[in-house]
A and B are shown apart, each in its own frame.
Chain A
Amino acid sequence: MLIYAARRLAGAIPRVLLISVILFLLVNLPPGGPADIYAADPSASPQAVERIRELWGLNDPLHVQYLRWFGNMLQGDWGMSYRERRPALDVVMGRLGNTLWLTGGALIVGLAFGFALGLAGAWTRSHLGRALAQATAVVGMSVPTFWSGTLVLLFFSVHLRWIPAGGMGSIGEPFSLTDLLWHLLAPALVLGSVYVSQWSRYIQAGLTGAMQNDYVRTARAKGRTRGELLMRHALPNVAIPLVTVLGLEMPRLVAGAMVTEVVFSWPGIGRLLTDALLGRDYPVVMGTLLVLAVLVIVANLVTDLLYGLLDPRVRYG
């Protein structure tokens, strides 16, 4: 198992390298660059801008800049945020936890309701019921979260005043877990709802498939009820395909979180990236993208390992 994990981990390293190259080029190739922020100052002389370029090594060849940047990244020196004037690593890490709360919340919402709906769908024998479940699933994944989120805010926060208007906590109040969860409720529901429909579909399909297995038939012959068959025998079989789907869906979940953060003023890395891009905060942009990528790669790794745990046919070695 350990060797398997280590091998998986090693396999992720070239990916991280390639990502860093792509990101570096993406940010550094377009015209205009970090020094332009200071050129923005009407009283900055061309010489002063040139001095800053020189100081930051922006006149070096691209590959020299890349190697220096990547070397520094590895040593934990992500540069200073131009906007916040503190290490970009601190800036990004300070927001990462908030995004994890949101994606975690959405994941729980998605899975809980997904299982509920999936089970209901598999349990019902009505053809119409199943078609309806499938239709809801497709419509559910077609609703843009930034739209549904806005409507939720408008209705439940502004009109009914049931939920807070956004953010991670009540203004100025000391941190408390209940307050955080209270603020997490709406964004997690909105983000999770996209996946409810999709995951319930997988769960339902998995369950229906499993119900046709021989051993389930045997169990049925022994007189087990349909509910028992579903819960005891079919459900464990859903885990493997579901884990695969979760792994594949990670980038989209993270992208969804980025948009949801903007709607609900959730101070996570999605909002950070938006602000950093608008403010041309290059070190933070690079840091955020790299963290996003690593987040997905780690999620994929976990998926792989879970897969190994769940499916005895995957051999480690």
Chain B
Amino acid sequence: MTIRWRIFFGNPLAVAGLVVLVLLALAALFAPWLTPHSPTATRPLDMLQPPSPAHPLGTDDLGRDALSRLLHAGRTSLTLAIGVAAVAVGIGALLGGVAGYLGGRADGTISALVDTMLSIPALALAMVASAFLELTTLRLVLILGLVSWPTVARLVRAQVLSLKERDFVEAARATGAGHVRLLLRHLLPNAVTPVIVAGTLLVAYAVLIESALSFLGFGLPPPTATWGGMLNEAQLYYLEAPWLAVFPGLVITLAVAAINFMGDGLREATSGRTGEA
């Protein structure tokens, strides 16, 4: 299975998603050059100002420039989400691959674990872990990765199961390839495409779950800005400074929708439609 880029680029929504995402990523990357203000310098006397030419998105409750925080928050939120997707894909591909390849008891155990993990809302698990541990960005990535891998595992397992009996695998086995080699060199590479699709959608999911976590008050400590964290801070002022709540929410929606459009586009562009992810 390969991605047929012609189909992907023929899909206007997918392309729009890609463009928006690239723009968001560039804005986050070049944040320090795009805005003259520091995201952490406090100016209490200028707090809660409405949007103006000097501060296009207004200022927050510490007089910090909201635009500059929004752009810097993009760095954290996007990196974090990609990290989460990477961790989830890593664990999911490995466990799913092993389950599908070995079958039998290993499959039974891993599948039971996957089913179990899927029956507790990931958000609830992440809340518990974040509440009981002192959060750092790395820890948050690990926590969110550890609660999001089961969908990937399920997908990869199904993929490997269907590939296992194919001729080229049989051929490799006949030449005496070992289990590890078979799995890593022959089976997993052939499951890459659906995993890419699932991973893309996971990035969107991670943006949402991180912001929900921050919104509930279980996010990263200050002064680190994330989109969800900004929404959480804006909650208190939504009567007098609604703009503080509007823009981070808009950006979250925009980013998540863009990634979802891209993911859908990728899914269509792979020959087989994968139903699971």
Contact = CB atoms under 8 A, between A and B. Distances in A.
- Asked if the two chains touch in their complex, CB atoms less than 8 Å apart, one says yes
Contacts of A139: 253, 257
B121 A258 contact: yes
Interface in B219-277: 228, 231, 235, 238-239, 242, 245-246, 248-249, 252-253, 256-257, 260-261, 264
A296 B120 contact: yes
Given A158-B239, A293-B119, A146 B128 contact: no
A143 B253 contact: yes
Given A19-B119, A274-B127, 12 more contacts: A15-B112, A22-B120, A26-B125, A30-B133, A139-B257, A146-B212, A150-B238, A154-B238, A262-B215, A277-B128, A277-B131, A278-B131
B156 to A, nearest CB: 17
A91 B144 CA distance: 28
A262 B215 CA distance: 9
Interface in A122-162: 131, 134-135, 138-139, 141-144, 146-148, 150-151, 154, 158
B74 to A, nearest CB: 15
Interface of B: 13, 112-113, 115-125, 127-129, 131-133, 204, 208, 211-212, 215-218, 228, 231, 235, 238-239, 242, 245-246, 248-249, 252-253, 256-257, 260-261, 264
A142 B227 CA distance: 14
Nearest to B213: A259
A300 B119 contact: yes
A255 interface: yes
Contacts of A277: 127-128, 131, 218
A240 interface: no
Contact of A154 (B124, B239, B261): B239
Nearest to A299: B119
A251 B252 contact: no
A14 B217 CA distance: 33
A130 B239 CA distance: 38
B124 A273 contact: yes
Nearest to B212: A259
A285 interface: yes
Given A19-B116, A144-B249, A131 B212 contact: no
- Interface size class of chain A, counting residues whose CB lies under 8 Å from the partner chain: 35 or more
B110 to A, nearest CB: 12
A69 B117 CA distance: 21
A32 interface: yes
A150 to B, nearest CB: 6
B121 A135 contact: no
A143 B124 CA distance: 20
A155 B204 CA distance: 27
B121 A292 contact: yes
Interface in A203-259: 251-252, 254-255, 258-259
A49 interface: no
A27 B120 contact: no
A14 B113 CA distance: 10
A258 B125 CA distance: 12
A297 B118 CA distance: 9
B212 A32 contact: no
Contacts of A27: 128, 132
Contacts of A138: 13, 257, 260-261, 264
Contacts of A144: 208, 211-212, 215, 228, 231, 249, 252-253, 256
B217 A147 contact: no
A18 interface: yes
Nearest to A254: B121
Most chain A Cβ neighbours within 10 Å, of B208, B211, B218, B252: B208
Given A131-B13, A296-B119, A146 B127 contact: no
12 contacts: A15-B112, A22-B117, A23-B120, A135-B261, A138-B13, A138-B264, A141-B260, A258-B121, A277-B127, A277-B218, A296-B120, A296-B121
A258 B235 CA distance: 17
A300 B116 CA distance: 12
